[in-house]
Structure formats: structure tokens, C-alpha cells
Structure 1
Amino acid sequence: MPNPSQTALLAAAARAAHLEVDHEPHILHDDLAARLLGDRAHELIAYHRAHGDHPILAAARAQTVVRARYAENRVRDLADTEHAGAVQYVILGAGLDTFALRHDDIPVFEVDLPDTQLWKRKAIADAGLESRARFVPMDLTADDLAANLRDAGHDPNLPTVMSWLGVTMYLTRDAVSRTLRRIAALGRVELILDYILPAHLRDAQGEMYARAVAQAAGEQGEPWLSQYTPGELRETLSRHGFADIRDLGLADAAPGYWPRTDSLRPMALLALAHARRPR
């Protein structure tokens, strides 16, 4: 059975290592990521244990836990406002995300490639866990998102938070636009996505990380294909009918966690956008 992408494995390892390597207060409490990694857990987390203060590994943990924390907080905040069961959470490119394993009161729809989902479902079973997520196997850039979600039980009349994290940089701008068009067809949705800033908007740590990680990702067959300035992404979202667009750096997305006594820093490389698609 094919493994999920290398980036999905590394993101899960970063979330797991955060609880072991970094100081309190922890930004994200994902205590199940290591269990999903199974036999790979020791190998992948060991790099963080041995070299936790290395700027590349620390940056990987920082951006991975901050973006997940921001999205999860919005889901929980909306659930506290509405009835929890009436709020739906759709995770595009879910990878080894564990939200559905840690929160069983909110309907979760995980969208990903069929092979990735087969691997993940086996990993969940092997770990002795049970997920109530609705798995939606599909190619996000080619298939009908609205139809696939509807077939899985998604209700377009209920509030939906959708996260699209760790994906856009691996798609061309045309593919990002096609996906946004499919998301917009869902109607009432809040979208949280992340994207890579171009070189002139990065700080020194962000540029160092980009040079090292982009090359490694390309060698693994997952090259970075798109970058946006906040203005460019805002214009792209507006063109597809999104409004109330917020631009956030890592420091903005996790206020109250900086400065820290460990090696995590809110570098300027990865940014988030939070937008709403009114009905």
C-alpha cells in the first residue's frame, strides 16, 4: 500500500515532536500524531529530539502547529457559538490530521487522495483508534468537490469551516484557482489556507528555510510551484467571491505565544488567509 506524501509524514512528526521538544505553553496539543506514524514514529521524531533547536526543524514545528492551531480554534469557537453538531469541518488535503480523532462532537469531512486515505485508515486501525470522520477520497484539483461532499453527508445549509493547509505551495496558480472555484460552489463556507510568501517578503530565517526545504521537497517529487504576496492572494480570493479576508503571519495566528523560551520563532515565510464565502 502506498505511503502518504513525505510532507504529510513530516508534518505529523512535527506536531508530535512539539509536545516533546518545545517548552510550555504548547501551541497545539496533538497527542495522537505519533501513534498514526506507527513504525515510522521513532525515526521521524528522532531528528527533532536530537536536533530540536536546529533552525530548519524548529521552523517546521512552528509553522505546522501554528496553522493547525488557528484552524482548530476557529472550528471550536464556531462550535461554541452554534450547536457543536451543527458546525461542519472540512479538511482539504487532510494527510495525517488528527482533529477528528481528538474531537468527536463535530462532523469532520477529510478530503484527500484515495491511496492516502487507505493508508491513513489502516494506520488508525493499527493504532487501536477509531475515527468518526467522513472520508472523501478524490483528486481535489480535478473532481467535483461539492458533489463528493454531498455524497458523504455534508449539509451546505449548515456553517462550514474549511482548512486547506500545507497544499497550495505544491500547486500551480491555475490549480489553486480551479480549487477555489470548486470551494466557492459550496456556498456558505469559511476558508483558512496557508501559502508561501515570495522572496522579497521573507525574513532571513524564512529565506534560509525556503532554500533548504524547497530544494529537498523538489528532490522528493513535491516541488514548490506557487507563491503569493498577501495582495495577490486577496485578489485571487475576491475574484472567486470570498469576502472579509484576513491576512495573518505566524505571530498574528497564534497571539500570546511569542516570545518563547524555546527555539520556535514566527518567521516570515508561511502566511495564512482567512476568508468567508457568503451565501
Structure 2
Amino acid sequence: MTEPSFTALTAAAARAAHLVVDADPKIFTDDLAAPLLGGRAGELLAYHREHGDQPVLAGARTQVLVRSRYTEAQLGGLTQYVLLGAGLDTYAYRARGADVRVFEVDRPETQAWKRAQLARNGIPAPASVAYVPLDLESGDLVAALIGQGFDVSRPALVGWLGVTMYLTRPAIARTLAVLGGFAPGSQLVADYFLLPQLRDEAGASYAGLVAPVAAQRGEPWLSCFSPESLTDLLRDNGFGPVRHVRQHDHDVWPRTDALRPAGLSVLAHATVA
């Protein structure tokens, strides 16, 4: 069975490692991330256990934790949650009983791996989750969602995390054009990387260490933005108000462990007009 992308695996490992490496209070609690790593769990978590203070690993945890915390906090009042590039996200399995229909959009092979790990660990998929196998580059997102029960007349929260930096700007624009046609009041939370000249020292250092490795693994960073340029792109595609949330803006600082904010990854929070 084909593994998920290395990015999906390392994001899940970062969420899992936070619970055993970092101090209290926890930024985000995901006690199902480790089981979904399957046979890679020991290897991936060992890096964090043995080198938890290393800037790249601590930076990866920070990035993943604050974006997950912020995104899930926006669900209040919304009953449809679309995860684009869902990867090994576990919201649907942690939030049992919540009145939220979750649509996990991802490539079929990633979904097959995830469902196999869920079954292997005795984690049942609730009736509230719908799997939407789709390649965003070539598939019809709205048709695929409707086929799984998505109600286009009701607002939704769309989480698009850990994806935009691996897409070209035209591909990002095409997806935003679709999302901008969702019901008014729908919200999008998407993370993006700042342009090199806008990064602070910590962000530039992280990028200098991680970007070459990502490229070598076949996942090069293709798109970075200024807040202004991304705001323009969002507004051109049907979105109204846009808020840009930097790591420094989250209400989790200061901390006593190795987690520190950096000026690289920013969350864009936009509402369909």
C-alpha cells in the first residue's frame, strides 16, 4: 500500500510528538495522530524524542500545532467542514458527537492508507465523515463533494493546511475560484509561506534548512506570498474580509519549552462574500 506523502506523515508525527516532548499547557491535543503513522511511528517520533529542541523539529511542531488549533476553533456554528488535502487529520475521529459533517478530500491512495491504519487500531470511522477521493489538480471538487452529501446552500468551513506551498499559483487560483462560489458566509483557513524578503530570522533559517530537503524528496516549495498579494487573489475569487494570522499572533506564548513563533508560515482566514 502506498504511503501518504512525507509531508502528511511528518505533520501527524509533529502533532503526536507534541504530547510527549513539549511542556504543558499543550497547544493542541491529538491523541490519534500516532496510531495513524502505522509502522513509521517509532522512527518518526524518535526524531522528536531525541532531538526535540532542534530548531527544524520544534519549528515543524509549532507550525502544525497552531494552524490546527486555530482552524478547528473556527467551526462554531458551522456544520460542514471540508478538509482539502486531509492527509492524516483526525478531527472527525476525535470530535464524535459533534454536529459537523466532515468531508476529507485527498488522493485515493492516501485515504486507503489512512483507513487501513484506522481499522488496524480499532478506530471506527463515524457516520459523520465522508471520504472524497480527488486530485484537486484535475478533479471536479464541487461535484465530488455533492456526491458525498455536501449541501451547497449551507456555509462550510474549509481547512486547506500544508498544501498551498506545494502548488503553483494558477493551481491555487483555480481552487480558490471554486471555493469562492461556496455559500455566502463560508470560511476558508489556509496557510501559506511568506516571500523570502518578508521572513524574520527564524523563518529564514527554517526555510534555508527545510526547503532543499523538501525539493530533494520531490515536494518543492512552489508558491510564496505577501499578505497583500494573497488578499488580492482571494478577493478576485469571491472572498470578502481576509485576516492574516502570524504565528506570533496566537494566544499560546510565551512557553517554557522549545516552541517559538517564526515569521514564515501564516494563516489566511477569509470569508465568502
Please classify the TM superposition score into its range, dividing by the shorter chain length: over 0.9
Per mean C-alpha deviation after superposition, the further-off stretch among 89-98 and 35-44 is: 35-44
Contact 1:160-1:190 within 8 A present in 2 as well? yes
Counterpart of 2:90 (choices 98, 101, 112) is 98
Q: Which residue of 2 aligns with 1:82?
A: none
| Paired AA for residue 204 in structure 2 | E
1:146–1:185 contact (8 Å) kept in structure 2: no
**Aligned residue among 236, 240, 245 for 1:239:** 236
What TM-score results when the alignment is normalised by the length of structure 2?
0.96
Q: Deviations over 1:175-209 (max 9, x none)?
A: 10011112123233200000000111111111111
Equivalent residues of 2:155, 2:183 under 8 A apart: no
Determine if contact 2:4/2:109 at 8 Å carries over to the other structure: yes
Cα distance in 1, alignment partners of residues 77 and 172 from structure 2: 26
**Aligned partner letter, 1:97:** D
Where 2:77 maps in the other structure, the secondary structure is helix
For the 8 Å contact 2:59–2:259, the answer to whether it is kept is yes
In 1: Cα distance, 2:121 partner to 2:179 partner: 32
Separation (CA, whole Å) in 2 of partners of 1:118 and 1:186: 28
2:201 to 195, 200, 204: 204
The runs of 5 or more residues in structure 2 that have no matched partner are none
Which position in structure 2 is the counterpart of 1:271?
A: 266
Report the CA distance between 1:131 and its aligned residue: 1.7
2:254 aligned partner, one-letter code: P
Q: How does 1:169-184 map to 2 (within 5 A)?
A: 169-184=165-180
| Percent of aligned positions that are identical | 51
Equivalenced residues, count: 268
How far has the Cα of 1:140 moved from its partner?
1.1
- Is 2:101 aligned against 1:110? no
Q: Deviations over 1:93-127 (max 9, x none)?
A: 00000000101222100000111111111111111
Answer whether contact 1:59 1:264 (CA < 8 A) is retained.
yes
Alpha-carbon distance in structure 2 between the residues aligned to 1:141 and 1:175:
7
TM-score (norm 1): 0.94
